[in-house]
């Protein structure tokens, strides 16, 4: 791989790439890593949002790169720009994601493709091009999935499928790199207050707009980011957040799958304008 020029002073700090950094958990991760003294490479489609974050976080060096993770070339460019600026990558956090809400019977298949392109292929593309540099630093690659990557969430077929796929991809990557020093974290937040539900796609691929859940009762994005930061620092394998909706649900699904399925159905059926009767 061709060595690209970089600023020598940037080598004094560790470097993290965060995708989907313009809002929610990604933005909170940027704030957390900045507070800990890291150099940041922030990626998202909304460049103006990235610039706002960069202006706010003035105590560290920040590179913003407009990136659509569904584009392989954009993901390759993201990594190249990071290396040009900082010369190395210590952590890649695949956080960019999109959700959907509709029963499969009524769902246009293009919605599933769009969700898979962002959640799964975005993770694959970024990881592919960052991997050679992460191997040099014996760094970390993290994927932000959800409880939907452990159990099927009704009304979210495309979303759960994409998160299961990310989990399978990263678990396999971990096995392949048992002897290279690469650290792989699979992080599954429970329901976290963010914009992901507002931008979730409906059956025809339009944004649903108003969230069907009470965001004030959820874990904050800042708390979630703090847990993820600690898990990466401690080089943990897996992180499941929240007790009832997270740890307990994943545990029970292994031994009482039918019970969890019934409870999941009832839970989502209570949402406003639920597609379930």
The H or E element that residue 257 is part of is helix 257-269
Question: What mean pLDDT comes out for the span 245-273?
Answer: 88
Dump the DSSP string for 83-104.
HHHHS--SEEEE-----B-B-G
Max CA distance (Å), the chain: 61
**CB-based contact 141:131 (threshold 8 Å):** yes
**CB-based contact 53:42 (threshold 8 Å):** yes
Q: From CA 178, how far away is CA 181, in angstroms rounded?
A: 7
Statement: the pTM of the whole predicted model exceeds 0.85: yes
Cβ-based neighbour number of residue 266 at 10 Å: 11
Question: What mean pLDDT comes out for the span 19-43?
Answer: 97
Question: Is 8-269 CATH 3.40.50.720?
Answer: yes
- Say whether pLDDT at 213 is over 50: yes
From 33, 129, 150, 159, the catalytic residue: 159
pLDDT band at 23; cut points 50, 70, 90: very high
**207 bridge partner residues:** 201
Question: What mean pLDDT comes out for the span 107-134?
Answer: 98
Concerning whether 125 is annotated as a catalytic residue, the answer is: no
Taking Cα atoms as reference points, which of 95, 30, 94, 90 lies closest to residue 63? 30
User: Above pLDDT 90, what percent of the chain?
Assistant: 75
């Amino acid at each position: 791989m061709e060595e690209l020029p970089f600023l020598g002073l940037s080598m004094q700090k560790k470097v993290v790439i965060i995708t989907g950094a313009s809002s929610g958990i990604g933005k909170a991760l940027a704030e957390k890593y900045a507070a800990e003294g890291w150099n940041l490479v922030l990626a998202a489609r909304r460049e103006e949002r990235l610039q706002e974050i960069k202006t706010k976080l003035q105590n560290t060096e920040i590179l913003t790169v407009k990136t659509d993770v569904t584009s392989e070339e954009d993901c390759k460019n993201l990594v190249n720009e990071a290396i040009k600026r900082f010369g190395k990558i210590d952590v890649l956090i695949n956080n960019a994601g999109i959700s959907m809400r509709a029963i499969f019977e009524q769902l246009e298949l293009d919605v599933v493709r769009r969700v898979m392109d962002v959640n799964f292929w975005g993770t694959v593309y970024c990881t592919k091009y960052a991997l050679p540099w992460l191997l040099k630093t014996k760094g970390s690659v993290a994927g932000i999935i959800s409880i939907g990557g452990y159990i099927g969430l009704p009304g979210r077929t495309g979303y759960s499928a994409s998160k299961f796929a990310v989990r399978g991809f990263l678990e396999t990557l971990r096995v392949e790199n048992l002897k290279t020093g690469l650290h792989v974290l699979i992080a599954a937040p429970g329901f976290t207050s963010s914009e992901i539900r507002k931008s979730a796609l409906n059956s025809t691929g339009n944004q649903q707009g108003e969230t069907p859940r009470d965001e004030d009762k959820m874990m904050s994005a800042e708390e979630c980011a703090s847990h993820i930061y600690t898990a990466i620092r401690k080089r943990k394998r897996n992180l499941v957040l929240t007790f009832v909706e997270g740890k307990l649900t994943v545990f029970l699904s292994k031994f009482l799958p039918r019970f969890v399925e019934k409870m999941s159905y009832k839970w989502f059926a209570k949402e406003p304008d639920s597609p379930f009767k």
